[in-house]
Amino acid sequence: DAGVIQSPRHEVTEMGQEVTLRCKPISGHNSLFWYRQTMMRGLELLIYFNNNVPIDDSGMPEDRFSAKMPNASFSTLKIQPSEPRDSAVYFCASSRTSGTYEQFFGPGTRLTVL
């Protein structure tokens, strides 16, 4: 079975550019989470969706960040405009909402904003 798929794996961009990160959750999982990880702050939850509906976006740092989940198999996290302080590893994770709540993480997107 394929795990959580994220693309791109690495992104280098210049300040002010738009960045779009993509995620395909595990089939059958109906919760999806976007995290950001930095050395200073660790792993932080940005937003999570349940059945494609955003439930809690209180972790989204500011209006430059937006996330969508148009269907059960695809989500995007967009940063516009990007800033150097957005440089981090962005992980997408998915889980079921019954039984075990184990979250399965994708390999992450390493973003560098110059």
Per residue in 81-110, is it b (16+ CB within 10 Å) or e — as a string? Answer: ebeeebbbebbbbbbeeeeeeebeebebbe
- 52 is a contact residue toward another protein (CB under 8 A): no
- 48 is a contact residue toward another protein (CB under 8 A): yes
How many alpha carbons fall within 13 Å on the CB side of residue 37? 13
Q: Which stretch binds another protein (CB under 8 A): 15-23, 39-47, 62-70, 72-80?
A: 39-47
Report in angstroms how near the CB of residue 86 gets to another protein at its nearest. Answer: 19
Catalog residues that contact another protein under the rule CB under 8 A.
31, 33, 41-43, 45, 48, 50, 55-56, 91, 95, 97, 101-103, 105-108
